[in-house]
Amino acid sequence: MSQTRPGGEIQSTWDPQHWKHCPGEDNPADLITRGLSLKVLAENSLWWNGPKWLASNCWATERQGNEESSEFVKRERKPKQVTMHACAGLAKEPIIDACRYDKWLTLIRVTAYVLRWVQVFKSGESSESRELSAEELKNAKLNWYRQVQREVYRIEYAQLEAGQPLPKTSTTLNLDPYFDKEDRLLRVGGRQQYSNLPEVTKHPIILPHGHPVVEKIIQCVHNELLHAGPENTLSVLQQNIWLTHGCHEVKRVLMKCLVCQRQHVGPSSQKMAPLPSERVLFSPPFTHVGIDFVNPLYVQGNPSPHKSYVCIFTCASSRMVHLELTSDPSTNAFFQAFNRMISRRGLCSTIWLDNAKTFKCADRQIRKLYKSQSSDSDQPWNDIDQGELQAKLASKGIKWKFIVERSP
Ligand SMILES: [Zn+2]
């Protein structure tokens, strides 16, 4: 036996045609690899003497020939299990491509005409009227319902048509479906058998979500309801159709409705600039203040009502508001109000002022001309001396800034 010699040496010494196959039951090496007690091994003649045919030298003559076709190879070859699923070809190719038509009613009319001509060719009798009848349109609808069910619920349709129970993995199991032999459709069994609802409402036709034909049906009902919302559309649909994942599916289809998109679109908004540092940095209240006047208030007085003004101081970081009442819109009156504010809230470092337009008019003549022609003569900022105001604020170490012109 050459089992003790290295495999590489054996392969290099002998030609491949000298190699023959030794079956497993005649191979002594297999005894140890399969496990054997010492007692049995000691009495085993195969281990000590080798196979019988080795001594009789008949191995070479018996094993010649095509071993691939011998019974021995067939016995040694491990059996392979191949599982094949056989499905009956129930889904027929539709005669009409539904994707060619955008609207459900167009598709139905085309289908009805095709079915009419099929009937004419079969019977040889032409139709009396050129217009489609309600019966023909109904048959066209049922034809598409049937086509969709055969396409999506292939196994369920075949099982129930043959009177067999549904497989436990069926997604329609909770609907308790049954096969309507008259229309040849799958309908919901449900629990409303004893109600006085119409038969088509008690047992609606099962239609799947995500099918292009079903999308056309949803869009058609939505249009007939003058673009009603998803809840209303679904409730009308469910009068004769049970749509799986109905609420989600109707919303998905209605999101693609162009008419609704135009009606519900909101105004475009611009991207806002970053907030100024005074608004976002930590600081004591009223460090950065915005000032504005409200329109004059008429106060009852003697002998006649007179105007009063309210100056609003707004903290830019905390949004606190401080109100001061002034008797007139002069510079002195404003500074009296401002001094009262800083005495109560503390000295501010930055003031944001409204009405930057006035300050941009460096030319006094132009500003006077603007003030004389302006119809908005009640604005109190127009009566305040801006130069004096700026000088006094700067002497207190206060920066003053003006908001963007015409900003809201
Ligand atoms: Zn719409």
* 85 found inside a domain: no
Indicate the pTM of the whole model.
Answer: 0.50
Span 141-155, pLDDT tens digits: 999 999 999 999 999
Confidence of residue 406 (pLDDT cuts 50, 70, 90): low
Q: Which residue has the tokens 């196959």?
A: 21
Cβ atoms 255, 263 nearer than 8 A: no
- CA of 259 relative to ligand 1 center, distance in Å: 5
- CA of 215 relative to ligand 1 center, distance in Å: 13
Same domain, 386 and 285: yes
Same domain, 294 and 370: yes
Distance set, CA 209 to CA 33, 190, 220, 236, 362 (Å): 59, 19, 15, 16, 71
- CA of 264 relative to ligand 1 center, distance in Å: 10
- CA of 99 relative to ligand 1 center, distance in Å: 20
- CA of 245 relative to ligand 1 center, distance in Å: 20
Span 47-81, pLDDT tens digits: 888 887 777 766 644 555 555 556 666 666 666 66
- CA of 151 relative to ligand 1 center, distance in Å: 28
Closest CA to 292 of 313, 306, 307, 267: 313
Across the chain, what does the average pLDDT equal?
80
Cβ atoms 313, 322 nearer than 8 A: yes
- CA of 134 relative to ligand 1 center, distance in Å: 27
Cβ atoms 184, 157 nearer than 8 A: no
Identify residues whose C-beta is under 5 A from ligand 1, the ion: 227, 257, 259-260
Same domain, 299 and 232: no
- CA of 260 relative to ligand 1 center, distance in Å: 4
What is the domain extent for residue 395?
281-402
Q: How many domains does the chain have?
A: 3
- CA of 235 relative to ligand 1 center, distance in Å: 16
- CA of 258 relative to ligand 1 center, distance in Å: 7
Q: CATH number of the domain that 311 lies in?
A: 3.30.420.10
d(CA 220, CA 250): 12
- CA of 270 relative to ligand 1 center, distance in Å: 28
Angle at 336 between CA 334 and CA 340, to 5 degrees: 115
Q: Which residue has the tokens 């993995």?
A: 169
Same domain, 238 and 332: no
Same domain, 251 and 297: no
Same domain, 247 and 350: no
Cβ atoms within 10 Å, residue 351:
20
Q: Which two tokens stand for residue 309?
A: 């003004």
Confidence of residue 298 (pLDDT cuts 50, 70, 90): confident
Cβ atoms 138, 144 nearer than 8 A: no
